[in-house]
Amino acid sequence: MTARQATSYVILFVVLVVAMTTPARAQNVPRLIADNRTPYVVELYSWNGATWKFVSRIAPSSWQPFPNAANGSVWRAVFASNVLEHRVSYSWASDYGGYQDIWLIY
C-alpha cells in the first residue's frame, strides 16, 4: 500500500465516522393547525375549486393539525351561524422544525 492510498483510506474512514455519528434530521411536513377557541363545535371545509368539501369537526377549546393543507388553499370554519374563511400561508416555525400556519378560530 502506498502512502497515497493510506492517506485516502484515512480520509475515507474519517468521513464515514463523521457521517455515521451526525444525526440526520429531516424537515417536518408543512401543516395547518386549526385552533378552535370557541365554546362550539367547529366544522371545517376546504375549497376544491368547485365546492366546499367537508374535512373535519373540531371540539370546543381544542386544535387539530392538517398536514395535507396546500399552501394557498382556502378553508372555511362554520359554527353557531358564523362562517370564517382562511387562506393557508406557511411560514417557518423553528419550534416545529418545518413550515406551518396556525389558524386561531374565535
pLDDT of residue 15: 82
Give the chain's end-to-end CA distance (angstroms, integer): 73
Helix locations, the chain, DSSP H: 3-21
> Which domains are delineated in the chain?
27-105 (2.60.40.780)
Which residue has 455515521 as its cell numbers? Answer: 20
Residues 48-104: pLDDT tens digits?
Answer: 999 999 999 999 999 999 998 999 999 999 999 999 999 999 999 999 999 999 999
Residue 53: C-alpha distances to residues 6, 16, 72, 104 (Å): 64, 50, 16, 20
Closest CA to 32 of 74, 60, 1, 3: 74
- Provide the 8-state DSSP code for 72: T
